[in-house]
Amino acid sequence: MSTINLNGTAHHPRNQSTATVAYLSFARSIMLIARREFRDALSSKWFLLYTIAFTTLAIGVSFMSLAGSGEHGFAGFGKTAAGLLNLIMLVVPLMALTAGAGTIAGERERGTLLYLLAQPLSRTELLLGKYVGLAIALICSLCIGFGLSAGLLAWRAGGVGAGSFLMLVVFTSVLALSMLALGVLISVQSRRAGVATGIALFVWLGLVFLSDLGLMAGTLLFKLRVQEVFALAIINPLQAFKMNVIINLNASLDVLGPVGMYASQEYGATLPWLLTGVIVLWCVLPLSIATLIFRKRGGI
Amino acid sequence: MIEARHVTKKFKRVRAVDDLSFDLQAGGSLALWGSNGAGKTTLIRCLLGVFPAKGTIRLNGIDVSKKGKHARAMIGYVPQELAFHDDAKLGSAIRFFAKLRRVDVRQAAQSLALVGLSGHESKRVRDLSGGMKQRLALAIALIADPPIIVLDEPTSNLDSSGRGEVVDTLLRLRKQGKTMIFASHRPDEVITLADQVLVMEQGRLVQQTTPEVLWPSRSSIRSLRLFIEQGDEHHAAEILREGGFAVNHANIGLTVAIEQHRKAEPMNHLAARGIIVRDFELLRDVQQDDEPEHPVRTEPMSEVLR
């Protein structure tokens, strides 16, 4: 355990190297901020609203999955996962982007950012702490929705396909983390929470709707080759997520047309890793850029 | 203890702090005196390492720009108004800062007791009065017993009773040997708490002096607030300064430090130059009740600063 004394020097057991002490202090500060952020998120209206909305929709989709085949009741895990895909692609980025966008900009607007920065805390610790806290809150929110849905499915339809459903939860969590990182980047750059939320909504619109339209228009206008269309498609983390989930459900990517066929043939078994890598990159890059900007720019 | 050399902070083309240097020994108390926009708050934020600045600021030899986290561990900061999550309870808020400063949470209770907030732990921050919020900010600042206390106009939003409480606490801290830097618009506070004054104007250091030099008749100094048409305030402040008055252009009106028996002079001075004073009020000073009432010789500020 390290402590900082009044002279600003660190006391620590002799057998711990300075680097270890610095790392422990870094990790401890992040966890402290994360705990506070998590508690704040749990008591906030957005968390409650999104959790209720996501849970209701997830259970609704589970119930409706068999409606198309003329039956009533709950479908199995596999069909529900497929049914949930479009819902996740709409709701989860919205949840994560807006939550991330409000974090630093909100503190800045309330005047609490200055007070936190005046404490013995580095900017990196503050930013990462807030990210970790929000990430845990978001994943908890998703797990409540998925968990209740899974509980009902297990009760009414048995446990077949539970593995795919579990993987869907994992992929969704990674997608949420990437969108949260993008939201934090927006937040770092915004002076007001309202502006940050507005930009986040615009980015959401772009990722969910406009990028597909843009890709279609680009394909027609520039007569893009299939490999170029694939490359452009997977730049969008939502498309990468969609393809990954389809592969995970043991479905053929052929449903996505020539691009899907090309991806299956060209990348084979490495495709899920490539797609996962793209989404992870969408976590790491925005968060790293946000940290750099927050540190370099200084001020409040 | 505190060593600032050629500190300069620019916001685009505006130099908020311009080539400012000063020293403050351990146990000393330094007041930052100047109008709104003089650069007091910016200087405080540079001292905290919140604003990156040119030049060097060292606290006990630690460079704030390079080891901001360690430097801030030596500072207890009290803002103009406590900005903390309104929903947070006082007890949990102070425990959070105790953990952040790596001190035993039991010290949180001691710190609250020191500022007279024991028993209020379950109250939410939003339910605290202005004075209580400032005392909470003081409790948070003192939680790790830091050697340096930095305060940014800590009493500007308080009524006279709240102001008295805060100033009394700060006096006790001074007696304990804390090093203190504070910004204030009130001469009575500067006289009571400071042994050095940095007079600032438009980011520049006009003079590093003492309250005795600025206000020789310190026992009868009063703070007079003048209300002038908004567009004329800046011009009026300039006229008063040229006339040798110590004036601050604060958020509400102009605050003029004036001897007890010369209270009409600033108004007459402005009237002679065509500036109409709409209204005025005499601010209640921190130690007003204890002060002797006797006339003293005074000098215009321009002569004092010469």
What are the tens digits of pLDDT across the range A188-232? 999 999 999 999 999 999 999 888 888 888 888 888 888 888 888
Within-domain flag for B302 = no
Domain containing B133 — which CATH number? 3.40.50.300
User: Is the confidence at residue A164, as pLDDT, over 70?
Assistant: yes
The full set of domain ranges for chain A reads 20-297
* Chain A residues within 8 A of B59 when measuring between CB atoms: 8
B70 has a chain A CB within 8 A of its CB: yes
pLDDT for res A225: 85
Average pLDDT over residues A138-165: 83
B23 shares a domain with B146:
yes
User: Is the confidence at residue A12, as pLDDT, over 60?
Assistant: no
Give B218-266 pLDDT, tens digit per residue.
666 778 888 888 788 888 888 887 777 877 776 678 888 887 778 888 9
pLDDT for res A15: 57
Average pLDDT over residues A156-182: 87
B83 has a chain A CB within 8 A of its CB: yes
B67 has a chain A CB within 8 A of its CB: yes
Within-domain flag for B269 = yes
Within-domain flag for B259 = yes
B249 shares a domain with B205:
no
Within-domain flag for B246 = yes
Within-domain flag for B304 = no
Those of residues 223-282 in A touching chain B at CB distance below 8 A are none
B262 shares a domain with B167:
no
3-state secondary structure B75-134: EEEECCCCCCCCCCEHHHHHHHHHHHCCCCCHHHHHHHHHCCCCCCCCCEHHHCCHHHHH
Q: Please provide the average confidence, as pLDDT, over all residues in chain A.
A: 85
* Chain A residues within 8 A of B72 when measuring between CB atoms: 118-121
Question: What value does the CA radius of gyration of chain B take, rounded to a whole number of Å?
Answer: 20
Query: pLDDT-based confidence at B293, cuts 50/70/90?
Result: very low
Within-domain flag for B305 = no
Count helices and strands in chain B by DSSP H and E runs? 11, 14
User: Is the confidence at residue A13, as pLDDT, over 80?
Assistant: no
Query: pLDDT-based confidence at A66, cuts 50/70/90?
Result: low
Q: How far is A98 from chain B (nearest CA, A)?
A: 19
User: Is the confidence at residue B298, as pLDDT, over 50?
Assistant: no
Domain containing B235 — which CATH number? 3.30.70.980
B103 shares a domain with B206:
yes
B194 shares a domain with B170:
yes
Residue that terminates a domain, selected from B213, B232, B260: B213
Q: How far is B38 from chain A (nearest CA, A)?
A: 18
* Chain A residues within 8 A of B152 when measuring between CB atoms: none
pLDDT for res B47: 96
Q: How far is A79 from chain B (nearest CA, A)?
A: 43
* DSSP string of B193-224, one letter each residue: H-SEEEEEETTEEEEEE-HHHH-TTGGGEEEE
What percentage of chain B reaches a pLDDT higher than 90?
Answer: 39
Within-domain flag for B66 = yes
Task: Select from A25, A117, A126, A128 the residue whose CB has the most chain B CBs within 10 Å, as the one to mutate to test that interface.
Answer: A117
What angle do helix axes B90-100 and B130-142 make, rounded to 10 degrees? 20
pLDDT for res B135: 86
B229 shares a domain with B255:
yes
Residue B90 carries which side chain, given as an amino acid letter? Answer: L
User: Is the confidence at residue B305, as pLDDT, over 50?
Assistant: no
Domain encompassing residue B260: 216-297
Which class for A2: exposed (0-12), middle (13-18), buried (19 or more C-beta within 10 A)?
A: middle
Residue that terminates a domain, selected from B213, B242, B264: B213
Query: pLDDT-based confidence at A2, cuts 50/70/90?
Result: very low
B202 shares a domain with B97:
yes
pLDDT for res A103: 94
Which of A8, A9, A119 shows the shortest C-beta gap to B97? A119
Those of residues 78-137 in A touching chain B at CB distance below 8 A are 110-112, 114-115, 117-122
A65 has a chain B CB within 8 A of its CB: no
Task: Select from A42, A119, A128, A191 the residue whose CB has the most chain B CBs within 10 Å, as the one to mutate to test that interface.
Answer: A119
CA distance A205 to A189: 19
User: Is the confidence at residue B283, as pLDDT, over 80?
Assistant: no
B101 has a chain A CB within 8 A of its CB: yes
B71 has a chain A CB within 8 A of its CB: yes
Q: What sign does the dihedral A74-A76-A81-A83 (CA atoms) show? A: negative
B59 shares a domain with B135:
yes
Sheet holding B246-249, edge to edge: B246-249, B254-259, B221-228, B277-283
Give A248-289 pLDDT, tens digit per residue.
877 677 777 788 888 888 888 899 999 999 999 999 999 999
Task: Select from A4, A42, A48, A130 the residue whose CB has the most chain B CBs within 10 Å, as the one to mutate to test that interface.
Answer: A4
Residue A165: which of A283, A282, A250 has the closest Cα? A250
B161 shares a domain with B77:
yes
Question: What value does the CA radius of gyration of chain A take, rounded to a whole number of Å?
Answer: 22
The ipTM estimated for the assembled molecules is 0.80
Domain count for chain B = 2
B125 shares a domain with B236:
no
Within-domain flag for B303 = no
What percentage of chain B reaches a pLDDT higher than 70?
Answer: 90
Q: How far is A38 from chain B (nearest CA, A)?
A: 13
User: Is the confidence at residue A3, as pLDDT, over 50?
Assistant: no
Q: What sign does the dihedral A298-B2-B5-B9 (CA atoms) show? A: positive
Residue that terminates a domain, selected from B213, B244, B278: B213
B271 shares a domain with B197:
no
Give A97-131 pLDDT, tens digit per residue.
999 999 999 999 988 999 999 999 999 999 999 99
B172 shares a domain with B286:
no
Tell me if A4 and B102 make a contact (CB, 8 A cut-off). Answer: yes
